[in-house]
Amino acid sequence: MRAMVLDAPGRKLRLAEVPLPEPGAGQVRVKVEACAVCRTDLHVVDGELPEPKLPIIPGHEIVGRVDAVGPGAAPKLGARVGIPWLGYTCGECEECRAGRENLCRRARFTGYQIDGGYAEQAVADARYCFPLPDDVDPAHAAPLLCAGLIGYRSLRMAGEAKRLGLYGFGAAAHIVAQVAVHRGSRVYAFTRRGDAAAQSLAKGLGAVWAGASEELPPEPLDAAILFAPVGALVPLALRAVRPAGVVVCAGIHMSDIPSFPYALLWGERVVRSVANLTRQDGEEFLALAPKVPVRTEVTRYRLEQANEALSALREGRIAGAAVLVPSR
Ligand SMILES: [Zn+2]
Ligand SMILES: [Zn+2]
């Protein structure tokens, strides 16, 4: 099969013909219909996450059809499934036993420690795959599998939040905004200064205000979610939330947070991170998405254009989500 392979961090991905993977016990193989490009893929490629499997096929927002089933795996041949970031948990450690499998000490992640979806086919542990309906468009469904799932978990961590700020209006924010508007929140979108495309996307999705991250919103926020991997946004967001407000850092990696006056945190404001996802997050969000309904804005790239998609994401040139669509 063809795959885009990372040989070492800092390199470009290489288009390669690699052996077709065979599913082991409890695993399925899917023919990849679409794989969305996540900012975490950039962190893997750029070497910002420790000890990736190398070489690695990135990609953890996979929509595909099951084309081989290993012994004991439940999904049927031809079934459409989604493969997310969470690829394996031990089920035995303290975190797993406490219902926090997202923090499992032996967790393994798709496209990081397990070969992912920048390929024509991919193998996954069936217990971590989500069933998807036949009538979804694969390219539009793919961003739900991380931008959507982890965005949803971040939104849960933000609490009720009638007034919600989203810093960095990319793939995750454009999905979270729709869910938040659906449940009655007023959404404030913060982007890079002058990013007219992201601001108009935000307004088109129901945001009541869009502006630069350095600006203060017209009213104090109940919560803010940071999707941009920029530590300097933490004090800016703290300044924008009311007392007892929450600032949720949703990314897996962030540049250093600059020092800031204690007064910004005072008033029982909270800063917290969100790590990975649980299968329950996935089940809840995938049931909720069609009710909103969440509509994703996608830019399609061919598999062999993965480097271009990553560059466009790095440079902030994608409105919504980039999606790789293998075709041959
Ligand atoms: Zn565990
Ligand atoms: Zn992701």
pLDDT digits (tens, 9 = 90+) for 77-87: 999 999 999 99
Per-residue pLDDT, 264: 98
In this predicted model, what pLDDT tens digit does every residue of 9-33 receive, in sequence order?
999 999 999 999 999 999 999 999 9
Cα–Cα nearest to 227, from 196, 193, 189 = 189
Reply yes or no on whether the pLDDT at 153 is more than 80: yes
Other CB atoms within a 10 A radius of the CB of residue 28 amount to 26
pLDDT value for 327: 79
Q: Which ligand has the shortest distance to the CA of 86?
A: 2
Largest CA distance in the chain: 58
Q: Round the average pLDDT of the chain to a whole number and report it.
A: 97
Q: Taking residues 274-282, what's their average pLDDT?
A: 96
**Is pLDDT at 134 greater than 60 in this prediction?**
yes
Cα of 218 to ligand 2 centre, how many Å? 31
DSSP 274: -
- The pTM assigned to this predicted structure is 0.96
Give start-end residues of each CATH 3.40.50.720 domain in the chain.
149-273
Ligand (nearest to CA of 99):
1
CATH of region 149-273, choose from 3.30.565.10, 2.40.40.20, 3.40.50.300, 3.40.50.720: 3.40.50.720
CA distance 152 to 147: 8
- CA 275 to centroid of ligand 1, rounded, Å: 14
Determine the pLDDT at residue 242.
Answer: 98
Q: What is the pLDDT of residue 135?
A: 95
Instruction: Indicate the SS3 state at residue 70.
Output: coil
Q: How far is the CA of 194 from the centre of ligand 1 (A)?
A: 44
CA of 94 to the centre of ligand 1 (A): 7
**Ligand 2 centroid distance, CA of 325 (Å):** 17
What lies within 8 Å, CB to CB, of 215 at 6+ separation is: 190
Asked if the model's pLDDT at residue 328 lies above 60, the reply is no
Given a cut of 60, whether residue 245 has pLDDT beyond it is yes
Cα(117) to ligand 1 centroid in Å equals 24
| pLDDT tens readout for residues 185-234 | 999 999 999 999 999 999 999 999 999 999 999 999 999 999 999 999 99
For residue 277, how far is its CA from the centre of ligand 1 (angstroms)?
13
The yes/no answer on whether domain 2-143+295-325 falls in CATH 3.40.50.970 is no
Check residue 145 and give its pLDDT. Answer: 97
Q: Where in the chain are all domains bearing CATH 3.90.180.10?
A: 2-143+295-325
Is the confidence at residue 115, as pLDDT, over 90? Answer: yes
Q: Quote the ligand 1 centre to 98 CA distance (angstroms).
A: 9
Pairing type for strands 27-37 and 321-325 reads antiparallel
Quote the ligand 1 centre to 233 CA distance (angstroms).
Answer: 32
